[in-house]
Structure formats: C-alpha cells, structure tokens
C-alpha cells in the first residue's frame, strides 16, 4: 500500500523522497487544491470512499493518510 501511496504523492505533490516525514507544514505543494486532487486519486487508487467530513482531517501528514487507508481497507474487508 505504501508504495502506491508514495507514487501518488510523487505525482500530485511533486515529492521525491522522505515520504513518511511529509506533513502539510513541510510540503509547500500540499495546498487545498492539491489536497482535493490527492483525495480523488486516493479513492481511485485504493477503491475507497472518502466522505466530506473525512477530507479535512486528512490534510495533515503522511502517517494520517496511511493509517486512514489501512483502516478503510480493513473496514471494507470486514463487510465483504
């Protein structure tokens, strides 16, 4: 999962390295529009749905996003 996430971040936020240290404070390209592009890409890549209420809290850090994706995928697996 993290490899795919890193590729998305590279593509959308133009980050080349130190993905796991990323946060909105140290990533200048991570603005609100880039965040929306990231949300849409995450939905498509990981086949998850991100609700409007979940979008803003994700505007935080790499770790927050990685944990969120993992939780969503676990949630879907339980349903299936």
Beta bridge partners of 61: 23
DSSP string, 62-73: HHHHHHHHHHHH
- 26 binds another protein per the rule CB under 8 A: no
Could you tell me the smallest distance in angstroms from the CB atom of residue 20 to another protein?
A: 22
Shortest Å, Cβ 34 to another protein: 9
Does 52 help bind another protein (rule: CB under 8 A)? yes
* Interatomic CA distance for residues 58 and 44, integer angstroms: 16
Residues interacting with another protein, by CB under 8 A? Answer: 28, 31-33, 36-37, 39-40, 43, 52, 55
């Amino acid at each position: 999962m993290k490899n795919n996430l890193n590729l998305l971040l590279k593509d959308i936020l133009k980050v080349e390295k130190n993905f796991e240290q990323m946060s909105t404070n140290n990533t200048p390209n991570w603005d609100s529009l880039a965040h929306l592009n990231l949300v849409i890409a995450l939905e498509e890549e990981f086949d998850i749905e991100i609700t409007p209420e979940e979008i803003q809290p994700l505007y935080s850090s790499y770790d927050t996003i990685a944990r969120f994706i993992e939780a969503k995928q676990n949630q879907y697996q339980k349903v299936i």
